[in-house]
Every structure is written in C-alpha cells, then in structure tokens.
Chain A
Amino acid sequence: MATRLLTYISIVVLSLSAMTASAAQDSELEAALLKTVFIYNFAKFTRWPENQSKTTQDSLALCSIGDDNITDNLPKLAGRVLRGKPIKSVKISKESELGECHVLYIAESTQNRIQEILQPIKMRPILTISEMQQFSQNGGMIELTQDQEKLRFIINLNTTRSSGLRLSSQLLDLAIIIDDEAQQ
C-alpha cells in the first residue's frame, strides 16, 4: 500500500514538474489586476453623501490620473454595477475634470504634482487611492501597500472623515488605520 502511495505521488510530482512554465511578466499583470479588484472593493464599501449633482448620480465614476498598469486595467470594470450604479471609467487629463469622480486612482507617475491634484479636492467626497509611498500621510485616503507577498492597505481616517465619505466597518476592519486626529 505504501509503495502504491509512493508511486502515485512520484507520478504526480514528475508529471507536474515537467510542466514548469512560469512567466514573470504574467504575474506582474496579475498583480495589477488584483489591485484593480481591490479598488473595486474599496468603492463597494464606501458610502457617498446623498446630495450629489445629477451627473454623478447616474453612474459611479472610477477616475484615474497618470499611467501605470492599474490605470490600464480599470476600464475592465466599466459596465459592472456597484451600489446600484453602472461603473464608468474615466481617464483624467486636466485637474478640472475631477469634479465628477467618485473614486480617483492616482498613478505613481504623477508623484511630482501630487499636491496639485489633492489640494483642490481635499474636502470633496472623492475616494483617493494610490500606491505612492506615504500617500496616506500626505493627504491621500487609501494607500495600497504590500506586506511580504500579500496586499494590504492603509486608510487615513482623518481625510476620509472630512471629505464626507463613510467607509464601512468591514473595510476598516481589514485596513491599517491612520488617524491624525487621535495623535494630536
């Protein structure tokens, strides 16, 4: 019996090892896709204030600014329904277009003008997300980060609070929380 087990195991291991085919490029794209779905989930657990203008009521605008492989993937979410509204994917080129956004993903490529992007929308109900280091401490709301090989996210409660957004406790439970108010 034990030899039979060994035979099975060796067949499986040998056959499977014959199939080694890995693609580093592929796994990087997969990571981008995973982060995209994180952004989708952030939106899922966020409540926007009721009194918004007509244009923002009909759809949920997922905006992005800058370029990286997440901004390439965000349009794949377009058309899916979140909180009863279809997702609209918007690539922002001018800061003045930010008004319609529910969610704003900010690519690392915009690092040198980050304050110009964040300042004008500071008190508005736009959920800002980025992978930039220290994003959550420099006026951003959700910073995507990594712990070993798993994705984690840091939420700055102070900025989300003052924007009028309400994040679900389910989201906060899973987040690393920064609360400036508490430290003062």
Chain B
Amino acid sequence: MFRKNIYTLSLLLLFGPQVHALHDEKLDHFLSLSLQELMDLEVTISTDTRQTVAKAPSAVTVITEEDIKATGATNLVDVLGSVPGIHIRANQFGFRPLIQIRGATATQTLLMVNGVSMRDLLWGFGFFWKGMPVSSIERIEIIRGPGSALFGADASAGVINVITKAASKISHNEVGVRSGSFDTDNGWVQYADSLNGIDVGLTMDFYNTDGHDPQINTDAQSISDRRSNTNASLAPDSAQYGWKSEEIRFSAAYSNWRLNLDYAKHDDIEIGLTGLGALDPITKANDKRINADVFYKDSQFHPDWIVDAELRFQDYSYSSGDGFQERPPGALSDANRSGLINQMRSAERRVSAEASGLYSGFQGQSIRLGTGYIWQDLYRVEQYVNFGSGPDGEEIPLGSELVDLSDTPYAFSPEKRRKIYYVFAQDIWQLASDWELTAGARFDHYSDFGSTFNPRLGLVWLSTDQLTTKLFYGRAFRPPSFQELYASTSNALPNPELKPERSETWELAFSYRLNSNLNLGMNLFHYQQTDLIDDVKAPEDTVGTFTNIGEHTIQGIELEAKWQLANNLRISGNYTIRDQDDSGFRAFDQPEQDAYLRGDWYFLHHWNWNLQFNWIGERERRANDSRTTLDDYLIVDTTFRYFPDQNWEFATSIRNLFDEDAREYTSQNIPEGLPLPERSFYAEIRYKFHN
C-alpha cells in the first residue's frame, strides 16, 4: 500500500513542467489581490538595482487569501499549522482546534479578528471555539513572540490577527460551494459595491458538517466503571463532532470612516467528549457573537500626524443546550437514571475605545502613541444541574430533577465586570541606514488585579546585502480568567488575589537571502514564564485553590526556507525543535519537533497543484503516566485547482492522503488518544463576477 502510494506520488511529480508566459492569467491573479498583498509580492528584476532605504522586514508571517486557496484549507486553523512554531491541537471537548505557539498552552496565544480578541472572560480560548471559515479572510498576520507591548493581554507566545475582506478591498463578487467527506457542506458569497461614494462589502458563509466522529474504545467512564464496579460507559462508541455555522460580515467605508458589523453563530455543536473525557452524545450547544466596530483614520490630520480612533462593541453568548451530560446514566449509582446533567449558559459584553497617533516629525523616527479603555461585563450566568451542590449548598441526591443554580454562589461563575485602561508608546527609529531600533511599552490597569507594564525592544541590522540579523526582547502577560478569580468549581477554588501570569522572551533571528530565489531563516528563542496559575492543594484540603505558583522555560530553534525554483514552482518549509524544562507546567500535548513542507506548482496555464506535509513528532508522557510515548504522525494533503477562465474556478482536495492513523494527546482518561480525521475528500466550485 505504502509503496504504491509513493509510486503514484512520484509519477504525479514527474509530469513535465510547462513554463510559458502566463500573463493573462497572471494579470487576473494580480487584479484579485489587494494593494497590500501586491506589495508583499517579490519581483525579481536583474537589471534594476536602485538603492532605496532598505526597510527592515518585520517578524510577521503573512498568509494571503491566495495562499489559503492553494492549500484547499476550509478553516483558519487548517492554514495556521503551516507556520513555524504553531501546532493546532484538537481538544477532546468539542474537537476545539487550540492554537498553541512555541510549546506553550493555547491560553498564551492572542487570537484577534480585525483586532478584536476572541478570548472570553471565563474559559480562555472561547468556549465553543471552532476556528473560522476562510471565505471571509483577506489575510492572516502572525507574530511569533510576545506582543503585549502593543496588544495587551494574552499575547505571550504569539499573536494572530485575522483581517477579513472588507468594503473597498473586495476586488470582485463571488459565489462558491464546497462539499466533502463527513457530510460537510459549505457555501459562501462575497459582494462589494459603491453607493454615492460609500463603499460597501458583504461576505456570508454557511457551513455544516457531521464531523469525523472518531471511535473511542475507552473513555473516562470506562475507567471509573472498573474502579466502582458499574457498567455505565458508552464506550466503545464514536465521539460526535458535528456542527453548523453561519457568518455574515458587512462593512462600509466612506472617506476616513469605516464600519464593520459581524455576526457569527454556531449551532448544534456536538462536543463528543466532556472535559473529563466521558462520551457525551446528547449535547447540542450553540454560541453567537456580534461585533460592531467603527474606525476613523485621518492621514492628513497634520503634516506630522496621522490619527486613528476606534470604537468597538461585542456581545458573545453561549448555551450548552440540553447538555452537558457530564456522566452517562448509571454512573456512580443506579439512582442516576438520566445522566449527570450540567446546563450552562452565559453571555458577556465588551465595549472598547482606542485612540492613537503616528508622529513622524523627527527625522528617521516614527512614533506611535495611544490610549484606550475596555469595559467587559459577564452579564448573564445561568446553570441547571441534577448533581453536586444545590442552590442552598446541600448535595443534590442522584436521580433528582434539574435545579436552578443561577444567581447563587454555586453557579459556575458570579456575574462580574472588568474595566481596563491602558496607554502605549512605540518608536521605530532608523539609527543608521542599516540599523533600526523598535522600542515600545504598554501600561495596563485592570480593575480586578491592578497594573502591569510590558516593554519590548527590537534591533534589526542589515548585516550584509543578503543577511539580516534581528534581536528581540519582550515581556507579556495573561490576566487571570474569571473562572480562576471568582468561580468555585468541583475541581478548584477561585482566588481573587491572583496576579497575571507573566513571560519574558529573548529572540535572535537571522534571515538570509542566498539569491533572489532562495530565502532561509533561523530563529532562536528563550521563553520564560513566571507566576503561572495552578490549583494548589494543602495536605488537609480536598480541593486546591488557584495560586500564582509556577515557572516554566521553553527554548527552541525554528528553521524556515522558501525556494522559488521557477516562476511557476515554489517550495517552502519549516522545522521546529524545542526543549521544555521539566516543571509541572510542561505541556505534554506538544511535540518536541515538528516539520512542514509545501510545494506549489502552477502548470498548463490553468492549473495549480499544492502538496503539503505536516509532521508532528512524538509526544512524551508524564512521569506518572504508564502509557508508551504517543507516536508521531505525518499528514499529507493535496489540492488541485483549475481555473479555465476568469470566471470559473474548480478545486478538489484530498486531506490525509495516506490515511495516517494520527492521534492527539489526551489525558489518561482517554488512554488511546484522540484520533484525527481519516482520509477525506472535498470539491469546490466558485464563480467570480467581473462587472
């Protein structure tokens, strides 16, 4: 089987190249890009070596819409795995794609959409986080390393900012449909117009899937059945991971003003397995996020000043529907006839305002100063349970009806508010023609835990025509969540005295341009976290209390290469190795090594072929875990894209081409790990209107 695969692969690869002047297709391609994307393209002109001020490249990885399309990705998280240092680890609870950067937990990643953090107040990474559809994405900017000096909270291991397609940047109208394995269906529309000088844009995306529903042979309940001599576990059975989503984004731009209105809703989210690791076939959860943002930018405010202002609103709510079924019927005792049910609903609101100015009055310097205010309100917490503590604090007998815990101290969180104000400053200073210094700092004051100050420094040296050397230092923080500050759960007690988790990162980077076709990069980093929060149990306690207790250090090397073999053929790849110290905070779900390789071939005028390899190294076990090391895996995806004319585009993808048995790390409650999707197929059609 394996040999045959290799053979097919080589055969495919050895089709002769067809290099021609593909200019009309190229023209359409260029016209479909935004000006920003065009500026990111490299042009290789041998004759013209005009000497201009070499602007230092930044530490940002930018993924464009074209990049995403080429790989056949359907979700943001499908694309992020290609960035060095990023591992997307699916979590058993809802198969949530947690974005982990540089070996840290996902709570240290700041993910923003148009500058708005997707974090919720209670659970860190969004309770029903499902990534986002790619049809509305214009580009993705990724900064590895700390970003708190600019963006504030959570930007410790890295920052991801997704920029959506907005008014005046949508180059054409389009409709598309996609269908594939696991009963996945997806449709989208993008539309742009200009009415009386007002540019408007609209994108809509509708998606549903049954999920890959992996087989779980032993779950947490199987293990407790063995211990307590019950027979309640639903395993072996499949974990249900279906979900639906709808996303509508409207934007308008007029003169110096922009408006974004976003609506994103997930429905019928099946969680598969509970947080503990028991199969839960009944939960159909939903969540809804509404954003309204207004931006103002005046580039001609004053000869030396460009000013920006923004006002944002967000409402995010979720409900676990009839679930969660924390334990199946029959667990713990026969009296438990209908399962342990825990229904959770909450809603939060955020209003924020920021103003900043870019001053360029000093020769060779550009200085940004800004200030902002954020108001966050967890305004609704509702909980219904048929086990644990009742509204009066008394134990609910098993087999009871659901009781309402809302507005009692026993609900999963009190309704709380948080206010934050901050100021920041950054100076990019061209010290000499080949030296650039970036110095910045941000001061945040939180109404709950107090203040934090986070500086950063970056020094870029154009060492030779080919080599650029960069040195970075930065500090960052993660504020304690409402769960850690206020919510009593069965697992841990809250602690209102908590301070933020902090981190300090040093980074040395080299980028080397061997020739115009081959770029190499190497990053060395040292990432030290302090004041990490964990539940600490005194010998006499039955449950622990959240405390700032831990320290953890991760060091690593990231290697990158981009090779343009011909103007229609490109290979890129990266390899990461990192070393985590043996503190209690070591993330065992992270591989020590991972690698990514990608090839793109534009051929026969109308075709693009993409092949990508994503290798995740083996994952070790905790000292008290008797399981053998979790195997590494290699997932290969391939996508063919065919664009016969300027209107139609067809694509077909095979994901996990070699049907690798890939598994993500789970605790000992799910001993065999979490199986990732098997080989799957997708087909896509899009029609572009060129009016």
Contacts and interface: CB of A to CB of B under 8 A. Distances in A.
A167 B48 CA distance: 29
Given A11-B13, A170-B169, 14 more contacts: A1-B632, A5-B615, A8-B597, A8-B636, A16-B565, A18-B14, A33-B26, A37-B31, A41-B35, A45-B168, A149-B42, A172-B300, A173-B297, A182-B304
Contacts of B48: 146
Contacts of A157: 300
Contact of A29 (B6, B19, B23, B38): B23
A43 B432 CA distance: 35
B93 to A, nearest CB: 28
Contacts of B691: 81
Contact of B35 (A8, A28, A45, A145): A45
Contact of A149 (B43, B303, B615): B43
Interface of B: 2, 6, 9-10, 13-14, 16-17, 19, 21, 23-24, 26-27, 30-31, 33, 35-36, 38-48, 50, 52-55, 168-169, 194, 197, 256, 297-300, 303-304, 516-517, 565-567, 569, 571, 595, 597, 599, 601, 611, 613, 615, 631-634, 636, 690-691
B45 A27 contact: yes
B27 A27 contact: no
Contacts of B300: 157, 172
Contacts of B13: 11-12, 15-16
Which 6 A-B residue pairs are closest in the complex by CB-CB distance? A182-B303, A15-B13, A37-B30, A149-B42, A31-B43, A172-B299
Interface of A: 1-2, 4-5, 7-9, 11-13, 15-24, 26-31, 33-34, 36-38, 40-41, 45, 47, 76, 80-81, 83-84, 133, 145-152, 157, 168-174, 177, 179, 181-182
A36 B320 CA distance: 53
B294 to A, nearest CB: 15
Contacts of B197: 47
Given A12-B13, A22-B567, A145-B52, A34 B30 contact: yes
B9 A11 contact: yes
Which interface residue of B17, B41, B43, B615 has the most chain A CB atoms within 10 A?
B43
Nearest to B53: A147
Nearest to A20: B565
A81 B689 CA distance: 12
A19 B55 CA distance: 34
Contact of B23 (A30, A146, A177): A30
Given A11-B9, A16-B599, A28 B634 contact: no
A145 B35 CA distance: 15
Contacts of B633: 1
Contacts of A149: 42-45, 516
A8 B12 CA distance: 13
Contacts of B569: 16, 19, 21
B26 A19 contact: no
Nearest to B9: A11
A151 B43 contact: yes
21 contacts: A5-B613, A11-B10, A12-B613, A15-B10, A19-B565, A19-B566, A19-B569, A23-B19, A27-B43, A27-B45, A28-B45, A28-B46, A30-B23, A30-B26, A30-B43, A34-B41, A146-B45, A147-B53, A157-B300, A174-B35, A174-B39
